[in-house]
Amino acid sequence: MDEPATRAHLPEPIPRWAWSTLALVTLFAAALRFYDLGKESLWLDEFYSWDVASGSLSVLFEKLGAGLDLQPPAYHLSLHTLLPLVGDSEWGLRFSAALFGTLTVPMVFLVTRRLYTFREALAAACITAVVWWPLDVSRNARPYAMLMFASGLCAWLLLLLVERIHERGAWSWTYALLFALAALLCCYTHYFGGLLVAFFALYGLAGTRRFYLRWLAVFALIAVGYLPWLFVFFRLLAAVKSGGAWVPRPALLDLPAFVFYLFNHSAVLGCVVLGLFLVLAVVAAREIRSRVTGRGAALLDSPGFFLLVWLAGPPLAAFGVSFVFNPVFMYRYLAISALPAYVLLARALLRLPVAPRLRAWAAVLAPAALLIHTVFGLHYFARPWHAQMREAAEYVARHEPDANGVVLGYIWGTKGFYYDYYFERAGSPLRVTFGDGPRELPRLAAYLERTPPPRLWFVMTNGMPEPELLDCLRQRMVAKERIRFYEAEVWLYVPRAP
C-alpha cells in the first residue's frame, strides 16, 4: 500500500522540532495512561496477574506451568520485579502496563521512521497515543501493552537489519542478535508473539534470500531460546484441547470487524479508515504499476507490503487455526497486529490526493478526532469498563455489622476467593468461606443444614452461577436484598422463618 522503498539512500534528517513534538506526545500519552490509574476495580484476568506475580519466583513458574494464567512468563516477571517498588494496589499492578504503553508511542515513531518520513512517524505516534485500544491495554494489569511494545521493537530491529543489507549488501550480526532477543521477548510475552515472529522471519528471509543460511541461524537461535518454555506450552496446549473450547468460533465478519475494534469499537470510524486504506491502495498500485520491470521485487520491498503482512497475517492465521484446532481468534490476542494499522492510517492521511497543506491538517485533525471520541464518545474515563468487584466487596464490608455473616464468592466459577483481596484492603475481618463454585456445593449444603448463618452474602461476577448452586441457596434461605454493580452483584440471604 505504498510505493516501493529504494532504501538506497540515507533517511531524511529529523528536525529538532520533530523530536520535541515526539517528547510532548509521549508525555501526553503517559498522562492519559497514568491518570487515575487505580480508579477501576481489578477484574478477573488482572487477579490472575496478581496471583501469579505476587509470590516467589518458584511459585510464579509453578502457577504458570499449572495453567493458572495461560500466558508465558515475561510479563509476570516484569510485574514481579516492580511490585516491591510500586506495591500491589490497583495502581501498582497496572504500573508495568502503563509504562510499556507509554514506551510504545516513541517505538511506533521509530518503526514508522524506518518506512516513511518523520511526518508519518509523528502522525502514527499521535494516533497511537490517543486511540482507545493502546490506551486501554495500558490501563490493565495484563500483558497486551507489553506485547504491543515488543511487537514494535521486533519490527524496528528487523527493518534495521533488512535496511542494512539493502544499503551495504552486508549482514549485521549485531542487528540480527538484537532482533532475536526482541523476538524472544515477543514469544515470552504472549503465545501469539511467536506467530508474529514467524511472519517477520518469512518476510526477512524472502527479502534477503542470499543470506538464507544466516537467517536460518537466527531462527535456530530463537528456537533454542524458547525451548525451555516450549515443553510447558505443549503441555498446556494438550490440557486446553482436552478441556474444550471456551472461546467462540469466529465468523467471517469478525475479520473486517477487527478494524472497527482497532479504532475505538466504532463502525463509523472503522469504515472511514477502510476508505482511507482503499485510497492509499489505489495510489500505491498506480505507482507500482508504473514500473515496467521488477514489479514483484518492488511489491516485496514496499513498506506498505510489510505493514500488510504485519496487520493481516496474524489475524488470518488465527482465524484459520480456529477452524482446525480450538478457537483462538480473540481481538485482545491480536494486539501484535495493532500498530501497523495506525502506521497505515498515518500514511494514508499524508498521501491523500489533495493539497499538501490539507494533508497536514488531516494528519493533525485525525488524532484530535480520535481523542475526542475516546474521551467523550466512549466516556472512557467516566464509566466503568470492567466488573466492579471492589465496589461489591466494599458494600458487603460496610453492611456486615459484626462479621458473623458468611461470604459465598463466585468469579467465573472457581475464583471466588479473589474477593478477599478487597475485604483485606477494606479493613474487614470478613473472608470468603465458599469460593470454589460448584465444587463447593456438597460442603455448602451440609453447612446450611447444620448451622444456617444469620446472613449469607453471595458476591458474584462474570456470569450467573450454576442452577444447582442457586437451588441450594433457595431451598434453605431467602433472598432479602439484591444490589447490582457493573458486571457484579451482591445478594443477601437470610434463614427461612421457622
- Over the stretch 139-163, which tens digit does the pLDDT of each residue have? 999 999 999 999 999 999 999 999 8
pLDDT one-digit tens code per residue, 95-125: 999 999 999 999 999 999 999 999 999 999 9
Query: Are 170 and 297 members of one domain?
Result: yes
pLDDT at residue 295 above 60?
A: no
For 246, the domain range is 16-377
Q: Per 3-state DSSP, what percentage of the chain is helix, strand, and coil (rounded to 5)?
A: 65, 5, 25
218: which 3 cell numbers? 537466527
pLDDT band at 53 (very low <50, low <70, confident <90, very high): very high
Final residue before a domain boundary, out of 377, 407, 428? 377
The CATH number of residue 429's host domain is 3.30.110
Cβ-contact 60, 132 below 8 angstroms: no
pLDDT at residue 293 above 50?
A: no
* Mean pLDDT of the 196-200 span: 92
| pLDDT for residue 192 | 93
| pLDDT for residue 61 | 92
Query: Are 348 and 461 members of one domain?
Result: no
| pLDDT for residue 288 | 63
**What pTM does this model have?**
0.92
| pLDDT for residue 437 | 77
Sheet of 488-495, strands arranged across = 432-434, 406-411, 456-461, 488-495, 477-485
**CA dihedral angle for residue 313, residue 103, residue 269, residue 120, rounded to 10 degrees:** -80
pLDDT one-digit tens code per residue, 32-51: 999 999 999 999 999 999 99
* Mean pLDDT of the 174-190 span: 96
252: which 3 cell numbers? 467471517
Final residue before a domain boundary, out of 377, 408, 442? 377
Query: Are 330 and 446 members of one domain?
Result: no
pLDDT at residue 294 above 70?
A: no
Classify residue 10: in a domain, yes or no.
Answer: no
Query: Are 231 and 283 members of one domain?
Result: yes
What is the count of structural domains for the chain?
A: 2
Query: Are 337 and 393 members of one domain?
Result: no
Query: Are 278 and 360 members of one domain?
Result: yes
Query: Are 299 and 439 members of one domain?
Result: no
pLDDT at residue 7 above 50?
A: no
Query: Are 146 and 267 members of one domain?
Result: yes
Classify residue 3: in a domain, yes or no.
Answer: no
| pLDDT for residue 8 | 37
Q: Which of 79-93, 293-307, 389-403, 412-426 has the highest mean pLDDT?
A: 79-93
pLDDT one-digit tens code per residue, 10-25: 467 889 999 999 999 9
| pLDDT for residue 286 | 72
Query: Are 366 and 393 members of one domain?
Result: no
Residue type, 490: V
Final residue before a domain boundary, out of 325, 352, 377? 377
pLDDT one-digit tens code per residue, 371-380: 999 999 999 9
Phi-psi region of 383 (alpha: psi -120 to 50; beta: other; left: phi over 0): beta
| pLDDT for residue 292 | 46
Average pLDDT, the chain: 89
| pLDDT for residue 413 | 67
| pLDDT for residue 299 | 54
Classify residue 384: in a domain, yes or no.
Answer: no
363: which 3 cell numbers? 494528519
Classify residue 7: in a domain, yes or no.
Answer: no
Q: Are strands 406-411 and 432-434 parallel, antiparallel or unpaired?
A: parallel
Classify residue 294: in a domain, yes or no.
Answer: yes
pLDDT one-digit tens code per residue, 296-355: 454 566 888 889 889 999 999 999 988 888 888 999 999 999 999 999 999 999 999 899
User: What distance in Å separates the CA atoms of residue 104 and residue 120, rounded to the nearest whole number?
Assistant: 16
User: What distance in Å separates the CA atoms of residue 454 and residue 476, rounded to the nearest whole number?
Assistant: 12
Query: Are 404 and 357 members of one domain?
Result: no
Classify residue 6: in a domain, yes or no.
Answer: no
| pLDDT for residue 4 | 39
pLDDT at residue 390 above 90?
A: yes
The answer to whether the Cα torsion of 271, 272, 274, 275 is positive or negative is: positive
| pLDDT for residue 5 | 43
Query: Are 238 and 155 members of one domain?
Result: yes
Classify residue 472: in a domain, yes or no.
Answer: yes
Query: Are 249 and 105 members of one domain?
Result: yes
pLDDT at residue 452 above 60?
A: yes
Least confident of 183-187, 250-254, 360-364: 250-254
| pLDDT for residue 118 | 94
Cβ-contact 479, 492 below 8 angstroms: yes
* Mean pLDDT of the 273-288 span: 81
